[in-house]
Structure 1
Amino acid sequence: MVDLAALHRLALALPEVEASPDGARLAFDVHGKGIAWSYFARAHPKARRELVEGVIAVRCRRETKEMLLETAPERFFDDDHYRGFPAVLVRLDAIDEAELAGLLVQAWRILAPKALVKRIDAERPGTTNPGGDFP
């Protein structure tokens, strides 16, 4: 289980990641690109999207998303709004910190400027694994 304090700690430990809280909404960005953010859903079609507490969206590759949805539906899910989009919905009460940290590192590697990724990899030997466990 991951609480909001742990989510903040894990996301903000990544190089140059910033939090953009807006009331109850969370967003973590690297150079203005979202790696993780609050999940909003509609109770019924055409209804206003409402914050779903305890769930976040995390950017990932589509093939990673499909694998996560297939192998761990108790932790990861999708909805009509995110179908086809490279992000997976994560139940924070069903995931451990290590797994979430790995997902956030992958999201960071996808969106961080390539020069930043190369610099960090050079500064921290052993971090070149795309699913690496840094920082």
Structure 2
Amino acid sequence: MATLDDVRALALALPRTDEKVSWGSAHWRVSSKGFVWERPLRRADEAALEAAGVPLPTGDVLGVRVADEGVKAALIADDPDVYFTTPHFDGYPAVLVRLERIGADELRELVEEAWQQRAPKTVAAAWLAEQGRRDG
């Protein structure tokens, strides 16, 4: 079971990342661009999930920037127990994550890929090279 502290540690270990509190929730940014954030559900979110027959999360929810809506759809289709969305995110490349159901390795991969999407290209390339990897 992952926690917001796990997300914090993963995000802040990446270059040029900081944490900001906005609307009472933690947001992690790279060069002032958000890539992962704490996302408590709103009443409208809960109503939409209930109407769609999607179980409500019992723990913390993380919003994560993804490459595009195709990636978002694939994550949700592959593991709907972990990934979901609400109408609030229609047309936006982000997915919601039930932290209590995601494994440590999968969370690390998700956070790193979100960071790569938003980091300046030279910063991401340098970090990947340090990791011994070519691309995300």
TM range (shorter): 0.7 to 0.9
* Segment drifting more, 1-10 vs 21-30: 21-30
**Which one scores higher on RCO, CA 8 angstroms, separation ≥ 6?**
2
Q: Which is helix-richer, 1 or 2? A: 2
Counterparts in 2 of 1:24 and 1:96: CA distance versus 1, 3 Å: farther
Please state whether the residue corresponding to 2:88 is helix, strand or coil: coil
- Taking structure 2 as the reference length, what is the TM-score of the superposition? 0.81
- SS at structure 1 position matched to 2:37: strand
| Offset at residue 85 of structure 1 (A) | 0.7
Segments of 4+ moved more than 6 angstroms: none
Distance across 1 between alignment mates of 2:78 and 2:39: 21
Write the letter of the residue equivalent to 1:42: R
| TM-aligned CA deviation for residue 21 of structure 1 | 2.4
**What runs of 5+ residues in structure 1 fail to find an aligned partner?**
46-51, 131-135
- The percent identity for this pair of structures is 33
Deviation at 1:70, TM superposition (A): 0.4
Report if aligned partners of 2:128, 2:135 keep a CA contact under 8 Å in 1. Answer: no
Asked if the contact 2:38–2:61 (Cα under 8 Å) also holds between the matched residues in 1, the reply is: yes
Tell me the C-alpha RMSD between the 2 structures: 2.0
| Distance in 1, Cα, partners of 2:35 & 2:9 | 14
Gaps in structure 2 of 5+ consecutive residues: 46-57
Question: Corresponding residue for 2:123?
Answer: 116
Specify which of 78, 87, 96 is matched with residue 94 of structure 2.
Answer: 87
Structure 2 equivalent of residue 20 of structure 1: 20
Q: Secondary structure at the match of 2:115?
A: helix
